[in-house]
C-alpha cells in the first residue's frame, strides 16, 4: 500500500468507524452510496447552529449577515475545488438529482427542439436519464445511448457515430456508480463541442476519487452531491457556464430568487441566486465546505492512489473465487473504487444480508441503473465501494465473509 498514506490516522476522524455498530466492527464498503462523515464536518454543523444560525439574505442584523457570509464563503470554496472561473457559476441544489432536473427543465425544455438528439450513455444513473426522457418526450427530441463493448468501455467509434450535427446535448457520467467504469468525458465533451452540442458531466462518483476541473474538461454543466464527499445529505452543486445559466429560466420560483415582483410579473435576481429559490440549506453548505477542506487536507491524489490500491487488492482476491463474476472493465486503471459482482446462484440481497452479519456493509440491487442491468442481461449486482478510510484489513474481512456466503445457504463451497 501507499507508504505515505497513513489510513489509520484518518480513520480516527470518523466517529462511526471507531465504535461497534449493531454489536460489530463496521466494515463500511458502501461509500459509492454515501460517504461517512469526519468529525470536522459534524462539528462545523454544530458550530453553525450554536453560533450563527439565521435565515441568510433576509436580515440586516449581525447573525443573518454572518449566515449569508458563511453561505457565500462555502460557494467560494466549491468554486476553487472545481476550478470554476466565477463563483456565480456555482449553484447550490439538494444534490445531483435536483441539479440534473434544473438543467433538463431550464435548459433542455427551452433549447432542445423536435428531432434534436440528446446523447447519454447506457451506464447512466436514473437521475441522468429520466430527466432527458422527459425532455425528449415533451419536445419530440430523440434520446440516444452510447453502449459499452464487451470490455465494459465505450468505443471511440460509438462516440463518433452517435454524437453528430443533430446532437444538441450530451450528458455523461465521469464514473459509473454501477460498474466503477471511468468514462472518457474529456474526449466526449470535445466531440460534443465539435458538433455544436452542450455537454453535461455527472461527477457524483468521480468527485470523490479524482481531481475534477471544469475548465480543463471544458464542461458546460457539471453536477455532484455533497454527501458522496463526506458532507451532510441534502446539498449538491450545479456548475454551469455563466453564459448558459444567464439565458436559462429559473427552476424554483419564490422567495430570494427575485429582483422585483409585481402583481402580474417578476424580474429575477442575478446568478447564482436566480436558481436558489427559498431558504437555503446553510448548515449543509458549510458542511460541504468543511468536507472539501478535509479532502484538501488529505490530498485528492492520495485518496485516488489509496482507493486504487484497495481496488486492485480486492479485485485480485475476488477474482480468485471461482463462484464470483466481476463486472466492468478488466483494466483496473479504467475503473474507480467500485467492484460490482455476483456470486453463483445467490441473489445479491442475500449476499448483502449475509455480509451484514459479519459487519460488512455493501450495496445490492440495480444501483439506479435499470437500463444498464437490462443491457447486461442481469437484474442486479452486489457492489463493494472503497474510500479513504478503508483498509486492506477491511478487504480481508470482506473476502472472508464472501467465502462463507454459499456455505450459509447450504452449497458445498
Nearer to ligand PLP, 168 or 383 (CB): 383
Closest approach of ligand PLP to the CB of residue 258, in Å: 26
**For cell 475545488, what's the residue?**
81
CB of 225 or CB of 342, closer to ligand PLP: 225
- All cell numbers assigned to 115: 428531432
Residue recorded with cell 449569508: 68
268: phi then psi, degrees, rounded to nearest 5: -100, 160
**CA distances to 99, 103, 110, 240, 266 from 253, in Å:** 15, 15, 17, 19, 10
Residue 363 CB, shortest distance to ligand PLP, in Å, is 9
Which C-beta is closer to ligand PLP: that of 116 or that of 124? 124
CB 29 within 8 A of CB 358: no
* Closer residue to ligand PLP in complex, CB, 380/401: 380
Q: Using CA atoms, how far apart are residues 34 and 12, in angstroms rounded to an integer?
A: 19
**Nearest-5° angle of CA 33, CA 344, CA 316?**
65
Q: Are 16 and 8 in contact (CB under 8 A)?
A: no
Do residues 311 and 337 touch, judged by C-beta distance below 8 A? yes
Asked if residues 238 and 120 have their Cβ atoms less than 8 Å apart, the reply is: no
**368 an active-site residue?**
yes
Strand residues in 122-166 grouped as ranges (E) = 142-146
Whose Cβ is closer to ligand PLP: residue 106's or residue 128's? Answer: 128
Name which of 144, 119, 159, 184 is nearest 329 in CA terms. Answer: 184
Choice between 96 and 339, CB closer to ligand PLP: 96
Q: Identify the bridge partners of residue 167 per DSSP, sorted by sequence position.
A: 117
Report, in Å, the least distance between residue 196 CB and ligand PLP.
Answer: 26
Least gap, CB of 228 to ligand PLP (angstroms): 7
Minimal distance in Å, beta carbon 226 to ligand PLP?
A: 8
- Would you say 13 or 202 has its CB closer to ligand PLP? 202
Contact 236, 94 (CB under 8 A): yes
Q: Which residue is catalytic, options 269, 323, 368, 378?
A: 368
Give the residue from 203, 287, 261 showing the smallest Cα distance to 237.
203
Residues at the contact surface with ligand PLP, assessed by CB under 6 A: 95-97, 125, 127-128, 173, 177, 202, 204-205, 225
- Minimum CB separation from ligand PLP for residue 373, in Å? 14
Quick count: other Cβ atoms within 10 Å of Cβ 30?
20
Cβ of residue 95: shortest distance to ligand PLP, in angstroms? 3
Residue 123 backbone class (left: φ over 0; alpha: ψ -120 to 50; beta: rest): alpha
Nearer to ligand PLP (CB atom), residue 57 or residue 125: 125
Angle at 397 between CA 392 and CA 401, to 5 degrees: 145
Residues 6+ apart with CB under 8 A from 205: 32, 173, 174, 175, 176, 177, 228, 336, 338
Minimum distance of ligand PLP from residue 131's CB (angstroms): 11
DSSP letter at 287 equals: H
C-alpha cell recorded at residue 180? 466503477
Which residues carry out catalysis? 368
Amino acid at each position: 500500500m501507499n507508504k505515505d498514506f497513513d489510513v489509520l490516522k484518518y480513520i480516527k476522524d470518523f466517529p462511526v468507524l471507531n465504535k461497534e455498530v449493531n454489536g460489530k466492527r463496521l466494515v463500511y464498503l458502501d461509500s459509492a452510496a454515501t460517504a461517512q462523515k469526519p468529525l470536522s464536518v459534524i462539528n462545523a454543523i454544530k458550530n453553525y447552529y450554536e453560533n450563527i444560525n439565521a435565515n441568510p439574505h433576509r436580515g440586516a442584523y449581525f447573525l443573518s449577515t454572518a449566515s449569508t457570509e458563511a453561505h457565500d464563503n462555502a460557494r467560494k470554496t466549491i468554486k476553487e475545488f472545481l476550478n470554476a472561473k466565477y463563483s456565480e457559476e456555482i449553484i447550490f441544489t439538494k444534490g445531483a438529482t435536483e441539479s440534473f432536473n434544473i438543467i433538463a427543465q431550464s435548459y433542455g425544455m427551452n433549447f432542445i427542439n423536435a428531432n434534436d438528439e440528446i446523447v447519454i450513455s447506457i451506464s447512466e444513473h436514473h437521475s441522468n436519464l429520466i430527466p432527458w426522457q422527459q425532455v425528449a418526450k415533451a419536445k419530440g427530441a430523440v434520446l440516444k445511448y452510447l453502449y459499452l463493448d464487451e470490455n465494459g468501455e465505450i468505443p471511440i467509434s460509438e462516440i463518433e457515430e452517435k454524437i453528430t450535427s443533430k446532437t444538441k446535448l450530451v450528458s455523461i457520467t465521469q464514473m459509473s456508480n454501477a460498474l466503477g467504469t471511468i468514462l472518457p468525458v474529456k474526449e466526449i465533451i470535445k466531440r460534443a463541442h465539435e458538433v455544436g452540442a452542450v455537454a453535461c458531466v455527472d461527477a457524483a462518483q468521480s468527485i470523490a476519487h479524482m481531481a475534477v476541473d471544469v475548465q480543463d474538461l471544458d464542461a458546460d454543466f457539471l453536477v455532484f452531491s455533497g454527501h458522496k464527499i463526506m458532507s451532510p445529505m441534502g446539498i449538491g452543486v450545479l456548475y454551469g457556464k455563466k453564459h448558459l445559466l444567464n439565458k436559462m429560466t429559473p427552476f424554483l420560483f419564490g422567495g430570494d430568487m427575485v429582483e422585483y415582483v409585481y402583481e402580474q410579473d417578476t424580474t429575477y435576481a442575478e446568478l447564482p441566486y436566480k436558481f436558489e429559490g427559498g431558504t437555503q440549506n446553510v448548515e449543509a453548505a458549510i458542511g460541504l465546505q468543511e468536507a472539501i477542506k478535509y479532502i484538501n487536507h488529505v490530498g485528492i491524489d492520495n485518496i485516488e492512489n489509496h482507493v486504487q490500491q484497495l481496488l486492485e487488492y480486492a479485485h485480485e482476491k475476488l477474482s480468485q473465487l471461482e463462484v464470483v463474476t466481476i463486472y466492468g472493465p478488466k483494466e483496473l486503471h479504467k475503473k474507480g473504487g467500485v467492484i460490482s459482482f455476483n456470486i453463483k446462484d445467490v441473489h445479491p440481497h442475500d449476499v448483502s444480508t449475509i455480509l451484514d452479519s459479519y459487519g460488512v456493509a455493501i450495496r445490492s440491487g440495480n444501483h439506479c441503473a435499470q437500463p444498464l442491468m437490462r443491457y447486461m442481461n442481469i437484474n442486479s449486482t452486489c457492489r463493494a465501494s472503497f474510500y479513504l478510510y478503508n483498509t486492506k484489513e477491511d478487504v480481508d474481512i470482506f473476502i472472508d465473509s464472501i467465502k462463507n456466503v454459499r456455505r450459509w445457504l447450504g452449497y458445498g463451497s
